[in-house]
Structure 1
């Protein structure tokens, strides 16, 4: 077990670093959650369900995201899922739920300013309208939305398994 914990330490640390948004205390908490999840992954892994690396990575990521959701006070201004734009008819229920889960995870990573800017952008459809809605300078909204997009890309990479 020590060998597996050692082998997957870089994964736990990298994921905690990405999800902590520069907060060293949050990174430490997420790292602990990651190690606990890794321990559970070792105990509950079944070969017939797929590869261990993919299973371990998913367990670690899910534990960290769950921690962020449970501790919303540290990750303020989580969007309500009802505020999401309407989905197209051909989108399946599973895909809609995945998108809502992704956005929920994303908003857990954003700063309050990024959350407000992205929410205004999604509801208005443009940076100009979002800036008007928030009564903020255009550049402030544009930069906040750009940072949110970068975090969304990181989260998407984690979902796809890219390290």
Structure 2
């Protein structure tokens, strides 16, 4: 077990694909904090932080499944990207209310026992206020971004890779990466205020 902990992420992924479940536990332990930190920075309408952590872990599993060492990217960078994409997809899906009927489903016996107004005990007015607050927050964030940053963020949230974004906007992947770093800094600064 001690020797396994000394393996690189890439070596652990290779062993996981060979069927070594102990290596999976080690890799999950290594990235648990990363998932929590990324999940903490987001808000999931109708959910809580644990839901986001679960989504982040799904992103980690996808990274393990899809990682290709021949692409010359570290597993850490790839995992961070997969986790981010999974989290942003979950936040976007929650905002679309596509699954609202499923999310607000309540057992008939539960309904008889409790007299909640709506999902998670919120009244329709509270849900509307939440939605308006999120939309207002989105508009305020949009104000601090340049037109190019807005385009890059939109593509990124749609799941485009750096190279796809760069090709679509006729930019270098490095300039896309720099823009995403600026966006992250601006969002952190905005959310801190």
Q: Report the TM-score when normalising by structure 2.
A: 0.42
Q: Report the TM-score when normalising by structure 1.
A: 0.49
